[in-house]
Amino acid sequence: MKPAVWARRLPWSIVAVAAGLVCLGWLGIVRYEELAEGSGRFFRQQVVWSVLGLAAMLGLSIPNYRIVCRYSYLLFLASLVLLLLVYFFPAVNNANRWIRLGPVGMQPSEFAKVAFVLALARYLMYRENYRRLRGLAVPLALTMLPVLLILREPDLGTATVFLPVLFVMLFAAGAKRSDLVWIMLAGLLITPLLWTQMSREQKSRVTALFEQPAPGQRPSDDAYHLYQAKRMLALGGVWGSSICARPTDDPAAYHLPEARGDFVFCVLGERFGLPGLAVVLGLFGLLVWRGLAIAAATREPFGRLVAAGVATLVAVEVLINTAMTVGLLPITGLSLPLVGYGGSGLLAHAIALGLVLNIGLRPGYEVTNEPFRYVVE
């Protein structure tokens, strides 16, 4: 594709929204380091990862995305291998989630989400057997393999995003709604079995959601995270400390573990209040809407399913992260995409959005001198 055509047809709205969310993440990290009296190291690292992510996102929009389709299963297999390799590296905070080589670390579960969307789209693109209940066995197996490996790390938050993505992609591929309902009912029935397989830490995060501390009493353990998250949002008030600064005499009020990553939404709320949070949610809504619009406009099945899967992935992550910060869901440790601190998550989402840009550039089958031949640009 010629550069002029690429620049004219590229969905620049997605690039602009993603850049806006990354910049808001910078502001949240800067505020976190200001409250924690940090050196600015996390902000500098996030800027470097942001530049790499932007380069990856734009770079992946250039070659035809159908090339990725050929290697979808291989990429999925590689992600499973990486999920197994984490157990050969030292645990961090009692969790085996990282592969570290010197100063560089990688979280394979972030890339596994993207590889899963690609593999599932490849399987569903031309098949008809998923329209029958027994034909859903393979998609379920593709889903449960990474879910079980990630749960063992343990990482409850990341594991929970796979099933919603599976359901939306099956729906987009044309699976019967009655079959999807039966699977949902079966999932509810096996929930007690899932509870028995959860670690003590994961169970305590669920039970902490229903524990209400007495007035004036600070909770401990996992309930402390939720207590401090709500407190941080309350400190910002309606307009945030950037406009209506209301310092408190208690420095512990601003202490929130993982505030630069999992709870950056609370930091932004403290700094910019409800208008700032509305901007964050509005940008995410626009990003998801553009992804679904590209999926609806794409005639080629693999591209349509990938765009729908990526849009659903972002939507589910945003819902889980924001809901856990206000006490509607258990604390799961799932970071806010593009906004929260972390190189692996930022780069993985940049890759996913780069594929959506690529699909938006090439909406599907075009008429040529050979009828119904797919045009590879």
Task: Write down the domain spans for the chain.
Answer: 3-361
Amino acid in position 323? A
Q: Of 127, 7, 138, 117, whose CA–CA distance to 65 is shortest?
A: 117
pLDDT of res. 77 = 96
Residues 6+ apart with CB under 8 A from 194: none
Q: Which residue has the higher pLDDT, 294 or 179?
A: 294
pLDDT of res. 156 = 81
CA–CA separation, 24 and 264 (whole Å)? 10
Q: What are 331-361's pLDDT values in tens digits?
A: 887 899 999 998 899 999 999 999 999 999 9
Whole-prediction pTM value? 0.90
Interval 191-197 mean pLDDT = 68
Question: Taking a C-beta distance cutoff of 8 angstroms, is the pair 263, 325 a contact?
Answer: yes
What is the 8-class DSSP label of residue 213? P
Q: What are 18-58's pLDDT values in tens digits?
A: 999 999 999 999 988 888 777 788 999 999 999 999 999 99
pLDDT of res. 130 = 55
Q: What are 57-96's pLDDT values in tens digits?
A: 999 999 889 899 999 999 999 999 999 999 888 887 777 8
Please provide residue 106's backbone torsions phi and psi, each rounded to the nearest 5 degrees.
-135, 140
pLDDT band at 126 (very low <50, low <70, confident <90, very high): confident
